[in-house]
Amino acid sequence: MHQASRSISTSQAGPHEDLNRRVSRSLSHVWRKPIAEHTREAFQQAERWRETQGSRGLILDACCGVGMSTRKLAERFPEHCVIGVDRSADRLSRDHGALPDNALLVRADLVDFWRLAIAAEWQPERHYLLYPNPYPKSVQLKMRWQGHPVFPAIVGLGGRLEVRSNWRIYIEEFAIAIAQATGISAPLGPFDPDDDPLTHFERKYHDSGQPLWHLVVDLDYRPGLMPQSTEG
């Protein structure tokens, strides 16, 4: 029997009132955070691995946790190569089952990895954000990906972006941010994983009877959404 999972506790009744301002800022201000060296090295490793995959299309599995979703996506899309990225060495070291040859797990800081991917002109065909930390307190908006300075890089990579969460407001905010950045309406609605959840969180939330939400949207490749410094 799976342990029951707690629902999101938040004071927000709807999308954050400061979301539009934060998205506008991320689209107009150069973010000068230095790239962490360990992430630069991890990205170079991923680049070399991609070269061994020939002409396979790329799938990015962001915040992949223990790698269960990366393995399952690689099995579902054997004609693609799948790169799962997570910042936790502990999570990535756990038993996630044997990885197919078309899957790679990478330990890296996603905020840097996404920016390196934009700079390297990566164009994933599919891009997954499965149950990211919702940071549900109102003061934590800037820590949610839709309110984070790296948001333009997430959207700018293009491809079919799918975001899933057990908090509807998170998905609503993400859709609003996408529309503001691109003018594209991202359909959102309830989601049922049936008998094949992609992540442990998805299984836990579903077994606890929590409603799940997602958005799926096809985005153009727009690297110019991420403001770049003109220095040097």
pLDDT at residue 149 is higher than 80:
yes
Query: Among 129, 116, 74, 81, which Cα is nearest to 98's?
Result: 74
pTM score: 0.92
Locate the domains of the chain by residue range: 19-30+40-219
Give 230 or 31, the one with higher predicted confidence.
31
pLDDT at residue 129 is higher than 90:
yes
Residues 86, 100: Cα–Cα separation, whole Å: 18
Give the pLDDT band of residue 6 (cuts 50, 70, 90). low
Say which CATH topology domain 19-30+40-219 has: Rossmann fold (3.40.50)
Q: At what angle do helices 110-119 and 37-51 cross, to 10 degrees?
A: 50
Residues 51, 35: Cα–Cα separation, whole Å: 23
Residue 230 is predicted with a pLDDT of 46
Give the pLDDT band of residue 147 (cuts 50, 70, 90). very high
Q: Render pLDDT for 37-96 as a digit per residue (tens, 0 to 9).
A: 999 999 999 999 999 999 999 999 999 999 999 999 999 999 999 999 999 888 888 766
Q: Render pLDDT for 8-23 as a digit per residue (tens, 0 to 9).
A: 767 778 999 999 999 9
The gap from C-alpha 108 to its chain's centroid, in whole angstroms, comes to 13
Residue 95 is predicted with a pLDDT of 63
Residue 195 is predicted with a pLDDT of 79
At 29, the amino acid letter reads H
Residue 231 is predicted with a pLDDT of 47
Q: For a pLDDT cut of 90, what percent of the chain falls above it?
A: 84
Give 5 or 90, the one with higher predicted confidence.
90
